[in-house]
Amino acid sequence: MTALTDTPTWQTLASLADDVKQQHMRDWFASDTSRASKYQQTACGIELDYSKNLITDDVLKALFTLADESQVTQKRAAMFKGDIINHTEQRAVLHTALRNFSGEPVYVNGQDVMPEVLACQDKMKDFVASIHSGERKGYTGKALKQIVSIGIGGSFLGPKIMSEALKPYWFDGVKVHFVANVDGCHIHDVLSNLDHEETLVVMSSKSFSTQETLQNTLTAKEWFLKAGGTQQDIAKHFIAVSSNIKAATDFGMAEDNIFPMWDWVGGRYSLWSAIGLPIALTLGYDNYRQLLEGAFEMDQHFQTAPPEQNLPILTALLGVWYINFFGAQSHVLLPYYHYLRGFPAYVQQLDMESNGKNISGDTTQVDYATGPIIWGSEGTNGQHSFHQLIHQGTLLIPADFMLPLNVPNQDDTHHAMLASNCFGQTQALMQGKTFDECYADLEGKGLDEAERVKLATHKTMPGNKPSNTLLFEKMDPKTLGSLVAMYEHKVFVQGAIWGVNSFDQWGVELGKELGNQVLDKIVNTDAPLAFDGSTNALIARFRQANS
Ligand SMILES: O=P(O)(O)OC[C@H]1O[C@H](O)[C@H](O)[C@@H](O)[C@@H]1O
């Protein structure tokens, strides 16, 4: 098989990139008044303007060919039908089954998983209703109004960030607190303000073996017992979400208090499973279901829309274009909506844990770049800090700007300013400011010629910096579900093109393993140290400080 970088399509793209680098988007907009309408697509409540990208029709055509030759369509079908595409862990990849409202079965190894999925959703619905109505009570008869959600990675980011993003939809009457870090400051801060009699702990761990989550749950249990609860009362105050039922019952969870999940749901795709229970507790089950429905709608769009109209495919190909042909190493996400401020951190795990890989197929070391660094934060804040580097630094950083057209508690002045900043930034990135414009601005400012040239040189903005703009009518649960699924599928398409396994995470696993080995040496202070010199010295220093 021809290596990806040796294919004629890859070569064509490389030569198109050389051409495009000599051109400026400013001129394209000036010469083609239809550019904005030509390069925009709407689906599932998401309006994507991708006209401010370094693309031409020829570039898009070659990118679609690349997707075609990489068998994106076939790989997509394999995922949706439950094939074992996570080939290093021998697992299907079926987060899409968790939001499958088609009524169709989904088979894993010949067994339809949908009955179990639907049963779990019913259990979640009943559970949320029993908490919200106050029917389910703590051991002293108080309603459970404080929920402590303990989990890390995908068992934390999805629940926390999606709950935060949907603040206008929160159920009034319960408060959900999220704890992830094993740093004791986090759990102690949260628990210190709570009344144990009205606290419910939701422990979320797919594997039920993650050190941080186990320890935080033990700490919460100790706190509960110390505050007056007994071992018997635990069942009323502690529940778990896990695919490892045995480990959860061994830990002391009552079997009835365990919500199942399955090994075919990856951690970073798990918010659609019972790992999303804290979201449902925050919003009410009906709103949580809307989130799932939005994702389902995007699943259908992804499977049926032609590539030219397909949001995940388009955004994925634009990413590949910059990563592989322009040397872009990062991608910035800029939600212009305060409640969506955690979204970059969510996509960071989704993308970097999925496509942070260097092996293609079975054993081939890739000779091209794969997943980018994902970063970003809410607008307009970033404009007053890191945007400078995007405007005038030497790195090319493609950006996704996001803006809801309507926001809750709408104050027109604030919202108009927010929108104008968002649009103004995309404009500045695209058009830049030429030396001549800067030079002209400095006329009559009392500068001598050398000073004027110097200042105009420093003020010159190259422009030609690519961005997508995503608009939403409003950021409701359904649109958010579609947005998350859009990024999931974008990451999938990129992984398919690069040939990597987007669904394992061996680097993270190694970190967990080594962390436990080091912990053993920290706890057993007399144990001989046989790691590398640096690690030994660090452990010794820690032992000394804590002796
Ligand atoms: O849910 P758990 O089994 O506790 O795993 C929590 C997290 O662990 C690791 O960091 C994985 O890389 C994540 O994908 C996962 O979400």
The pLDDT assigned to 412 comes to 87
384 is catalytic: yes
512 is catalytic: yes
Mean of pLDDT values over 151-161: 98
Q: Mean pLDDT of all residues in the chain?
A: 97
217-268: pLDDT as tens digits: 999 999 999 999 999 999 999 999 999 999 988 888 889 999 999 999 999 9
In the chain, what's the furthest Cα-to-Cα distance?
84
Mean of pLDDT values over 283-291: 98
302-324: pLDDT as tens digits: 999 999 999 999 999 999 999 99
Mutate to test the pocket of ligand 1, among 205, 210, 245 (most ligand atoms within 8 A of CB): 210
365-374: pLDDT as tens digits: 999 999 999 9
Min mean pLDDT across 30-39, 406-415, 454-463, 476-485 is at: 406-415
33-67: pLDDT as tens digits: 999 999 999 999 999 999 999 999 999 999 999 99
Q: How far is the CA of 88 from the centre of ligand 1 (A)?
A: 17
504-515: pLDDT as tens digits: 999 999 998 999
Write the ipTM: 0.97
CB 319 within 8 A of CB 398: yes
For the range 300-303, what are the long-range contacts, defined as Cβ-Cβ under 8 Å and sequence gap of 24 or more? 301/43, 301/44, 301/482, 302/76, 302/485, 302/486, 302/489, 303/76, 303/77, 303/80
Higher pLDDT, 251 or 14: 14
Please indicate whether residue 158, judged by its CB atom, sits closer than 6 Å to ligand 1: no
Please indicate whether residue 243, judged by its CB atom, sits closer than 6 Å to ligand 1: no
Q: How far is CA 353 from the centre of its chain?
A: 10
Please indicate whether residue 210, judged by its CB atom, sits closer than 6 Å to ligand 1: yes
pTM of the model: 0.97
Identified catalytic residue from 246, 384, 445, 458: 384
Handedness of CA 206, 209, 211, 217 (dihedral sign): positive
The pLDDT assigned to 15 comes to 98
> How far, in Å, CA of 379 to CA of 390, rounded?
14
Mutate to test the pocket of ligand 1, among 206, 245, 349, 491 (most ligand atoms within 8 A of CB): 206
Mean of pLDDT values over 337-344: 98
Q: Whose CA is nearest to atom 4 of ligand 1?
A: 205
Q: How far is the CA of 354 from the centre of ligand 1 (A)?
A: 12
Give CA separation, 79 vs 87, 109, 303, in Å: 12, 13, 11
Question: Using the 8-state DSSP alphabet, how is residue 528 labeled?
Answer: P
Band (409; pLDDT cuts 50, 70, 90): confident
Q: Whose CA is nearest to atom 7 of ligand 1?
A: 153
Q: How far is the CA of 512 from the centre of ligand 1 (A)?
A: 10
499 three-class SS = coil
The pLDDT assigned to 410 comes to 73
Please indicate whether residue 273, judged by its CB atom, sits closer than 6 Å to ligand 1: no
Please indicate whether residue 205, judged by its CB atom, sits closer than 6 Å to ligand 1: yes
The pLDDT assigned to 251 comes to 82
> Is residue 1 over pLDDT 80?
no
284 three-class SS = coil
378 is catalytic: no
Work out the percent of the chain whose per-residue pLDDT is above 70.
Answer: 100
